[in-house]
Structure 1
Amino acid sequence: MSLPQIVSRDEWLAARQELLVKEKAATRARDELNADRRRLPMVEIDKEYVFEGPDGKAGLLDLFEDRLQLVVYHFMFDPEWEAGCRSCSGFLDDLGHLTHLNVRGTTFAAVSRAPFEKIAGFKARMGWNVPWYSSYGSDFNHDFDVTHDESVKPIVYNYRSKEEHINAGTGYYIENAGQPFELPGLSAFLRDGDRVFHTYSTYGRGVELLTSTTAILDITALGRQEDWEEPKGRTTGLGAQAGRTPS
C-alpha cells in the first residue's frame, strides 16, 4: 500500500495552505452552482399520482405533509424483490435528523415501486423512521426516469438516452436494458397552495453526497433560506439564519 510522503510540520503546513486555496475556490464554485440550481425554472405537475403509505392512499400533495417543499428519494425496490437496494439502504442510513429539514418547511420521503407491505416490513427491519411510500401501479417512477422499461417508454437516465450512454461510455447504467430495472435518483418539488411543481432531479453519482441537511436544502428552490444566498428573496422565515455570510 502506498502511503503519503513524510515531511516536517512546516512543509506539511505549507502544503496544507496551498490546498486550502483550492478548497476555498471549490466552496465558492459550489455556492455559485447552488445559486444556479435555485434559478432553474419549474414545471407544474398536472398528472394525478396515487401512492400508498401507512395511512392508505395518498396523492403527491399529501407527501408534502403541509410543508412548502418535498424532496423524494427514488429508492430502488422492485416489486419482485424481498428487500430494498443495498446502496439505497446506505443512503438512508446516512441521513441526519429529518427535523432539521422540517423546520425549514421541507419534507423528505422515500418512494419505491414495491408494494407498501414489503416496504413497511423492510423499513421496520432496518429501524428507519423516514416517510416511505409505494408508487406501485402508478407512472411516477417511469415519469421520473428511475424505473426503466422499454415497453413503457424509451430509456432516459441522468438526462441521457440509451444511445447517448453507450456513446459516452456510461453504458453500465443501462446494462439491464433488455428487461425492466431500477436506478436511484432524488427529486425536489415546491408547492404553491394546492399546485405542485417539479424543480430539480439528479441521478447517479449526483445523489451520493446528498445526505446532510444543508446538501439536501441546496438542491431545493428555497435553498438553505439564509440571507446571503442568491437569488435574494427565497428566505421563508422557517429556520432562516439572517445576516450570516459564508467564509
Structure 2
Amino acid sequence: MTTSAENAGNSGQSAMQTPEIVSPKAWEAAREALLVKEKAQTRARDALAAERRRMPWMAVTKQYVFEGPEGKSNLIDLFDGRRQLIVYRAFFEPGVHGWPDHGCRGCSMVADQVAHLSHLNARDTSLVFLSRAPQADIARLKARMGWDIPWFTLTDRFDSDFGVDEWHGTNVFYHDGANVFRTYFINNRGDEQMGSTWNYLDITPLGRQEVWEDSPKGYPQTPTYKWWNWNDSYVAGAVPDKKWVEVSDAGEAAFRNQDTERK
C-alpha cells in the first residue's frame, strides 16, 4: 500500500516528508510533551500582555478630523463613548491593488477575521478601520463583503503620524475626559494575529479585565468568564447570568483538577 505522500510523488508533485505514524499511546505521549511547551508559551504571552499594560502612554495633542457616515468626527468621537479605541489602517483607496472593487487583499483578510464587536464593546473597547476612500465607496465595499466594522475616511496626516502611511498597522488609544493617549502599536507580522476578541484585548491598556490578570493596582477587573454573553444579549450594567456563573464555575474547577492530576 502506498502512502498519500508517495501518491503525490507518483502524480508528479513533490513528495511530502510527513511525520511517522504511531500508536494512540505514543501519539498521546507526544501531545503531552508538546503541551508542556504550549502552556509555557501561554504563560509567556500572559506575562508579555501584563508588561504591555504597564507601558508608558503618549499624549495625543494634535487634532485630527475623519469623515464618517454621519459626517465629520474627531479622534474622541471614534471611541464612541468607550475608554479604549483600537484603530486599524486599512488600505482601500485609489492606487491600492483592487480599487475600486476591493481593498488590499491583506487588509481585507484582516477584516474577514474580526470577531463580533459586541464582545469588545462589553469591555469598554471600540474598534474602527480607517482608509482614504470616500464614505460612499467604503459603504459599498462593506455591503459587498459583509463587514459591520465602523469605518472612517482619513482626511489628514493621522496615518503617517502614527506609523501606518505605507503599511498596515494597529494603534491603541485610551481617553480620560478630553485627554487622549496612544498606548500601543503593532504592525507587520505582529498584527497578522489580530481579529479575535482576546488578541485585541491583550494589546489594550486595560487588558481582558479579568481577576486572574496581572494588572496595575486599581485597574477594572471582573470574575473570569462571568461577563461573557451571547452577542445579542449584552446589556450595560447587567449582572452576570446566574446559570452561566454556575456553568463557568464548574468548568474552571474541572480544568483545575485536570491540571493538578497531570503534575
Query: Shorter-chain TM-score: which interval?
Result: 0.7 to 0.9
Q: SS of the residue aligned with 2:45?
A: helix
Equivalent position of 1:225 in the other structure: 209
Query: Alpha carbon RMSD of aligned pairs, Å?
Result: 1.9
Please, which runs of 5 or more residues in structure 2 have no aligned partner? 1-15, 227-251, 257-263
Please name the residue that 1:130 is paired with: 149
Amino acid corresponding to residue 139 of structure 1 in structure 2: R
Encode CA deviations 1:191-222: one digit per residue, 9 max, x unaligned. Answer: 10121110001000000111111110000000
Structure 1 SS opposite 2:112: helix
User: More helix by proportion, 1 or 2?
Assistant: 2
TM-aligned CA deviation for residue 142 of structure 1: 0.8
CA contact (8 A) 2:168 2:188 kept: yes
- Of the candidates 88, 101, 106, which is equivalent to residue 125 of structure 2? 106
Provide closer, same or farther for how the CA distance between residues 138 and 111 of structure 1 changes in structure 2, counting only shifts above 3 A.
same
Distance 2:41 2:163 in 1: 30
Which residue among 213, 219, 236 is the counterpart of 2:197?
Answer: 213
Deviation at 1:233, TM superposition (A): 3.3
Shift of 1:12: 1.0
Deviation string 1:155-210 (CA, Å, 9 cap, x unpaired) is: xxxxxxxxxxxxxxxxxxxxxxxxxxx31111110010121110001000000111
Matched, 1:115 2:130: no
Q: 1:60: how far off?
A: 0.4
Asked whether the equivalents of residues 79 and 115 of structure 1 are also in contact (C-alpha less than 8 Å), the reply is: no
Matched, 1:76 2:76: no
Matches within 5 A, 1:14-163: 14-80=29-95, 81-82=99-100, 83-135=102-154, 137-147=155-165
| Cα-to-partner distance string for 1:2-37 (whole Å, 9 max, x where unaligned) | 322101111111111110110011011101111111
Contact 2:89 2:164 in 1 (8 A): yes
Closer, same or farther: CA 243–58 of 1 in aligned 2, 3 Å: closer
Shift, 1:53, TM fit: 0.6
2:107 counterpart letter in structure 1: C
For 1:192 and 1:41, how far apart are their aligned partners in 2?
A: 15
With normalisation by structure 2, the TM-score equals 0.75
Q: Does the 8 Å contact 2:50/2:215 carry over to 1?
A: yes
TM-score after normalising by structure 1: 0.80
Q: Secondary structure at the match of 1:110?
A: strand
- SS of the equivalent of 1:78 reads coil
Q: Unaligned regions of 5+ residues in structure 1, if any? A: 148-181
Q: How many residues align?
A: 210
Give the letter for the 1:228 counterpart: W
- Runs of 4+ that moved beyond 6 A: 243-247
Q: Is the 8 A contact 1:223 1:234 kept in 2?
A: no
- Code of the aligned partner of 2:143: A
